[in-house]
Amino acid sequence: MQRYQNYAQGQWIDGDGVETNLYNAITGDKIGEASSAGLDYDAILTYGRKTGGEKLRKMTFQERGRMLKALAFHLLEKKRKYYEVSALTGATKIDSWIDIEGGIGNLFANASLRRQFPDLPYNVDGVAAPLSKEGSFIGHHIQVPKRGVAIHINAFNFPIWGMLEKIAVNFMAGVPAVVKPSEYTCFLTEVMVRDIIDSKILPEGSLQLICGLGRGIIDHATSEDVVTFTGSAHTGKILKGSLRILAESIPFNLEADSLNATVLGKHATPGTAEFDLFIKETVKEITIKAGQKCTAVRRILVPEDFIEEVQKGIAARLASTVIGNPSEEGVRMGALATRTQVDRVRENVELLAKSQDIVFGDLDRFEVKGADKDKGAFFSPILFRNDDPYTNTDVHSIEAFGPVSTIMPYKNIDDAVELSRMGKGSLVSSIVTPNDDEGKEFVIGAASMHGRILVLNKDCAKESTGHGSPMPLLTHGGPGRAGGGEEMGGKRGVMHYMQRTAIQGHPTTITKITEQFQVGAEMPEANPHVFRQHFEDLTIGDTVFTHKHTVTVTDITNFANVSGDNFYAHMDETSLEGTIFEQRVAHGYFLLSKAAGLFVDPKKGPVLLNYGVEEARFTKPVYPGATVGVRFTVKEKIDQEKKDADDIAKGIVKFLVDMFDETGETVALATILTMVKKRDQSA
C-alpha cells in the first residue's frame, strides 16, 4: 500500500500509524494512507526559519523571480504525471487543467513581479516624506522579509493550485513555507513536491510538506510567522481564534467558502448574446470541479420576468451534462473528492430542501458513465428555486459544497444588490449585462460585500477567465463570511509577508539604506562621465553637472515647428491675459529634450540605449532669457539576467534628471531609464 510521506527537515519521513486512508474518488478503491502524527513541529518550523529563511532573505527580488520562473518551466515539463494522479481526485481534464496549469501559471505571474521591485533583498515602499524645513531630515518606508515561515493550511479541492498560488507569493517575499494540504487529496500535492525538491531549484528548507492531519502545527508559530487557511468558515474561525494566534499576534489570513452570487442583468433579455452567455457560464460554474470551489456560484439572481426562461435554460444544459469517469468519452463532470464529502453535501441539500424546491436533479436517481455511483464519490447537479428569498433565507446561510445552486428572482438592481449582500460576505460576484450603466450600478452597490466582481458581456467573453477564477495579479479574499482576508493581488500579496518599517534620517543616510537616490543627499561629481561607466562601476548618487543653456524665443519657435505643438501659451503672447504665464513659455518637452542634449555623452560607450521616461514634471515656467542646467544623478540600479548565452550582459539604470534655472530652482524633473552594458560579459 502506497505510503504518502511528509517532507520535513530535509528528508522524506513517515508519521506514526495511519491518520488518513486515501481513496480513488472514481472507483472507491483505497490508493494509500498518510500520517503526520509524531512530527516535531517546533523543529520543523525552526528548520524553515533558519535553513530556508536565511537563504531566501539574502536573495534579491530579481533572483527570487528567476527562481520561480525556473521552477514553473520545470513543473510544466512534468505536468503529464500530475494529470494522471489528479484523475484519482475525481477531476476531469478541465478540472485538472485549472488546478495544475493554473497553479503553475501563478509561478510565472509572480516571477514577473520582480520587475516591480528593486534589485535588493528588501523593498523600498513609496516615496520619501519631507520632515524638515531645510530638507536635511526625511522619512521613508522599507519592507523586509519576515524572519518566520508561511504556514499554509489548504483545502481538498485544489491540491496543486492551492499550494502554488500561496508559495509563489511568500517565496517572492523571501519567506519559506510549510504546506499542509488537505489529508484527503495530499497524494497529488506530494507527487509535485517530490519533483520540486528533486529539482534543487529552491534553497533547502524553503519548502516543507505535511501530508497528514497536521494537528499541532500552529502551536509553535511565532509573531514573525504567517498562517493562511483555506476551507470552511467554521474551521477557519476556530484556528483564527486560537490562543497561540492571539498571544503571538500572528498574521492569519482566512479565505473561506462563501455563498457567491451571479446576476443576470435586466438588459440581458432572452435572445441576447448576454442571456445565452449567462446560462452557459452559470452551468459551467455549477459543474466544474463538481462545484467544489470556494468561488462557485451558489445563488443565481434573475430578473423576475425572466426566471422561467433561465430555469429552463440551466436545466436543459445540466441535463446534457454527462457525469462519470473522466477517462470516458463525453464525461463533463467527475466525482466529489471523497465519499465523506458526498455525505456532507447531501446533508446540506436536505436542509436547503426544507425551504426551497428542487427543480432539477435527484439525490439518488442519476446516471454515471463508466463507474459505479455507489462506490465512487458521485453527486447529481442540484438546482433549487426560491421564489421568496427574503423569507426563505436558508439559501443565504447554508452552503452545499458541491454542484448545487439556487435560482431566485429580483425586482431591480437595488434588489439584486441587497440579495447578493445577504450572503454576508463573498469572495466573488458577477453580473452579466450588455449595459455598462447597469454593471456600474451593481458593482458600486455590491462591492463592499465582495472581494471581486466580474462584469461580463459579449465583448469580453472570449477572453474572460470567468466568474470562478481568481487571478494572481488581483486580490483574492472577501469580507465577512468569506473570511475577511486577502491574498495574491500581485505586488500587494508579496507585501503580506514583509514587515513595513518607517525609517528617518538625513537624505544621504536614507539613500545608503534604500540604494535609491533621495533628493537632498550628497551628489559627488561623477568621474568619468556616467555614460562612460559600465553597470558595475556606477554608484548611486554620482552626478553629472552639465553646461548651461540660455532659452530663446527662437528655441521655442523651432520646437513648435518640429513638434507641431503650437499651444497658445508657447506661441501667442497676446493671449496670456488671465493665465498664470507672464510671457511666452518654453515647452516642457523642449526642456526635457534640451536636458538630454546637455547630459548625454555622445560617444559610443557602455550605455546601450535610453528606453523610457518616468515621473516627468514641469515645476516652474521657463521664459526666454532663463538659463538652465541639469543635475544628472544615478538614482537606482537593477540587474538583468541574460536571455541566452549570446545576449549582452547588462543592467537597468535609472537616472534622475533635475533641470534648474539661474536661481538654482528646479524647473523640471524626470527619471530616465537606460540599459547599460556590464564590464563582465560572463555575468
As annotated, the active-site residues are 255, 294
From residue 609, give the alpha-carbon distance in Å to each of 251, 534, 602, 674, 675: 45, 13, 12, 6, 6
- Between CA 117 and CA 150 the distance in angstroms is 21
Cα–Cα nearest to 543, from 554, 558, 551, 533: 533
Handedness of CA 158, 164, 169, 175 (dihedral sign): positive
Cβ proximity of 612 and 672 under 8 Å: yes
- Between CA 558 and CA 454 the distance in angstroms is 50
- Between CA 512 and CA 222 the distance in angstroms is 31
> Cell 445565452 maps to which residue?
276
- Between CA 365 and CA 638 the distance in angstroms is 63
- With helix as H, strand as E and coil as C, how does 225-272 read? CEEEEEECHHHHHHHHCCHHHHHHCCCEEEEECCCEEEEECCCCCCCC
Set of cell numbers at residue 233: 468558515
Handedness of CA 476, 478, 483, 489 (dihedral sign): positive
Q: Residue-wise over 2-27: b if at least 16 C-beta within 10 A, else e?
A: eebbbbbbeeeebbeebbbebbbbbb
Q: Name the residue type at position 273.
A: A
Cα–Cα nearest to 24, from 377, 380, 402: 377
- Between CA 603 and CA 625 the distance in angstroms is 30
| H/E run at residue 179 | strand 177-180
Q: Name the residue type at position 368.
A: V
Question: HSE on the CB side for 478, CA within 13 Å?
Answer: 29
- Between CA 551 and CA 573 the distance in angstroms is 16
- Between CA 14 and CA 4 the distance in angstroms is 8
Cα–Cα nearest to 186, from 154, 228, 231: 154
DSSP state of 358: E
From residue 485, give the alpha-carbon distance in Å to each of 147, 254, 257, 425, 539: 22, 5, 12, 11, 42
Three-state DSSP class for 187?
Answer: helix
> Cell 435527484 maps to which residue?
362
Q: Name the residue type at position 154.
A: N
| H/E run at residue 453 | strand 453-456
> Cell 513595513 maps to which residue?
500
- Between CA 679 and CA 681 the distance in angstroms is 6
* CA 151 centroid distance within chain: 18
Question: HSE on the CB side for 596, CA within 13 Å?
Answer: 15
